[in-house]
Chains A and B, each alone.
Chain A
Amino acid sequence: MEHIRKLGYRRLGLLIGVIALLMIPLGITNPYFMYVINLILIYILLVLGLDLIVGYTGQVSIGHGAFFGIGAYIAAIFSTKLGLSFWFTLPIAILATAIIGFIIGFIGLKLIEEYLVMATLAFGTIIWLVFLNWTDVTGGPMGIALIPSPPAMNFGIFQLSFTQYADYYPLLLFFVIVAIIFTKLLINSGFGRACTAIRDDELAAQSMGIPVFRTKVVMFTISAAYCGAAGTLYAHFIHVVSPETFNFTMSVTILTMVMIGGQGSIIGAVLGASLLTIFSEALRATPELRMLIYGLLIVIMMMFFPRGIMGIINYYRKQIEKRALLKKMKGAKATVDVKKEGLGYE
């Protein structure tokens, strides 16, 4: 017992959480559920990526669906035409999306607020039109099919042959965990703090000596690279890429997930991606009403809960803390520790 206490409840919780996550494929036999869970993991990557630029740097992009598409198409082209395996297409796609993200960021981030929104919208649409019309390379409206699965992996105890959805799960989970750790390190680094400073007050950040434009461009590049990685995973997971997946709606979906989860929060990103994906899949039973309810939900969330789900959670947490503090101040004997515990989100 002492041992566990030393480890700290939070770390224990984390450990149990990871083990539980790894056990999921054992408990779920329905391939459709597995498919949805994998999809959620891909969306989490996308949302984490977009949140870096929207939530942490305060620069809004509604063109990130295009980066997702670039990653997917590069993986598709390199694997079907050159026969490269997943482990080669992944770095190529990440690098390529980062380069394109850098170029777009370098051109576009000179703009502010609404003008940046419009510019990213235009970029996203242009890239989508290239997917649609550059038939020789992208296959036009038909897209590219028959993208191979990642090569089988052997870990001694268990093997991943990538013949069923459950096999993709550990791979995707691995990338999501890597992405979460990387995000956490990034936002707690000096660079990440510079980004947050820009978000809160650009002028003040500049006068503190932060190279505003450069910081924004670098963050935009990283953010694009996340989407590129997600795109590669998507291409090898779904085996087909076609232009309509990566249109304006995709960019909006990712941004909505960021907003509904709560900007600038890793847990928010995970919650936003999971809940919206589950919601939209659950409504598949009533396809006519599906998007209608989805749209209504977005409007209502934005009207009444502007800071998303994390906003609601934080609000109640503060309430509880406040009550605990009041109780303490009244001289009650109860010793309530108000130290931040639990979600671990500031």
Chain B
Amino acid sequence: MIVDQLINGIVLGSVYALMAIGYTMVWNVLRFINFAHGEVYMGGAFVALTTMYLGAPVWLAYSCGMLSGALLGYLMEKLVYKKMRTAPKLNLLIAAIGIAIVLQNSAQLIWGASPERLASPFLANNVNIGGMMVNQHYIFIIIVTIIVMFLLEFFMNRTLMGKAVQAASQNIQATELMGINANKVISITFAIGSGVGALAGILVGPVFLVFPTMGVFAGLKGFTASVMGGMGNIPGAMVAGLMLGVLESFAAGFISSGYRDAVAMVILLAILLLRPQGIFGKVVAEKV
């Protein structure tokens, strides 16, 4: 039972971690919460579903979903957020919520409201790990998450573009003065964050099904994880996502499944009030 919950938690947590990356990366460069990020998660899963329906093999469908998620994030930034760079934060927030409404309802218009299961070649098989039967797809989710995390670490720390993104998160004006194209950096940030978010949606598609409002709670959880890890801290977001998944899964298993979503919210509040810099963050003096 405990091990079961732990594995469920880790699987959920991987998804939250992937979602959290998108929030945290955007926060890093633009200091704003992209409330439409949950819809990228949903969009990616739907595109994967459709490409598979059209007869594409699984790997192609999954990559198509991920790429379209990245494209969606890129377009979102290019068409809306870019025009609002100087707007008050509140306007950006409402615009993001507006985009979320548009995307959710377009999905409903195109694909309908009924949940559908995304196919996975692994779902039918179980693996025996030390006497425990674990679904192969769960293992697949965990492995993919680990690979993505390593790739992201590599991108952020070893490539020039990744370093530019890091520079932009420290000071975007200074970055421009250094001859880095800030707009390009922002676009890349959105594309990568959204691509990873879409991947999260595709990975859970076979387990939790695909439907137009699937992104709402996943978005909130991913967002909670990004706050837990400390806004803007990518490794922190990954660890926090896993922690959140495990905590939630234990709470659902041992307290009450109805309040499982409340766990994340209580954690979010506790973190905001007690450690607003996140579990792994350092205290930074406020600039006045």
Interface set of A (CB-CB < 8 Å, partner B):
54, 60, 107-108, 110-111, 113-115, 117-119, 121-123, 125-126, 129-130, 132-133, 203, 248, 252, 255-256, 259, 288-292, 294-299, 302-303, 306
Contacts and interface: CB of A to CB of B under 8 A. Distances in A.
Contacts of B223: 118
Given A119-B272, A259-B90, A295-B99, A114 B32 contact: yes
A54 B93 CA distance: 13
B88 A306 contact: yes
Interface residues of B, number: 45
B102 interface: yes
B150 to A, nearest CB: 29
A126 B266 CA distance: 8
Contact of A129 (B94, B98, B262): B262
B216 interface: yes
21 contacts: A119-B273, A122-B266, A122-B268, A122-B272, A125-B265, A126-B262, A129-B265, A130-B262, A259-B91, A289-B109, A291-B104, A295-B100, A295-B104, A298-B94, A298-B97, A302-B84, A302-B92, A303-B83, A303-B87, A306-B88, A306-B91
B105 A118 contact: no
A85 B154 CA distance: 66
B259 A133 contact: yes
A291 B105 contact: yes
A113 B272 CA distance: 12
A118 B35 CA distance: 11
A287 to B, nearest CB: 10
A62 to B, nearest CB: 8
Given A133-B256, A288-B109, A256 B97 contact: yes
B261 A299 contact: no
B90 A129 contact: no
Nearest to B270: A122
A259 B273 CA distance: 27
A291 B137 CA distance: 35
Contacts of B143: none
Interface string B100-138: 111111101100000000000000000000000000000
Contacts of A123: 265, 269
A121 B288 CA distance: 27
Contacts of B93: 60, 117
Contacts of B216: 248
B272 A115 contact: yes
B-side binding surface: helix, strand, loop or mixed? helix
Given A117-B93, A295-B101, A306-B91, A111 B272 contact: yes
A322 B171 CA distance: 40
Contact of A113 (B89, B103, B273): B89
Contacts of A107: 269, 273
B162 interface: no
A255 B94 contact: yes
B20 interface: no
Contact of A299 (B98, B256, B273, B276): B98
A122 B265 contact: yes
A294 B276 contact: no
B95 to A, nearest CB: 4
Q: State the 8 A-B residue pairs at the shortest beta-carbon distance, nearest first.
A: A295-B101, A298-B98, A295-B102, A133-B258, A299-B98, A302-B95, A292-B105, A291-B105
Contacts of A294: 101
A-side binding surface: helix, strand, loop or mixed? helix
Contacts of B97: 252, 256, 298
Contacts of B87: 302-303, 306
Contacts of B31: 114
A226 B256 CA distance: 33
A248 B103 CA distance: 17
A111 B33 contact: no
A303 to B, nearest CB: 6
B60 to A, nearest CB: 30
B265 A126 contact: yes
A344 to B, nearest CB: 25
Contacts of B256: 133
A118 B94 contact: no
Given A118-B227, A118-B272, A126-B262, A302 B98 contact: yes
Nearest to B103: A295
Contact of B95 (A111, A132, A298): A298
Given A296-B98, A298-B95, A302-B98, 14 more contacts: A114-B33, A118-B223, A119-B272, A122-B268, A122-B269, A129-B261, A132-B258, A288-B109, A290-B105, A292-B105, A292-B106, A297-B98, A299-B99, A303-B84
A302 B94 contact: yes
Instruction: Name, among B106, B272, B288, the residue most crowded by chain A CB atoms within 10 Å (CB to CB).
Output: B272
B56 interface: no
B105 A295 contact: yes
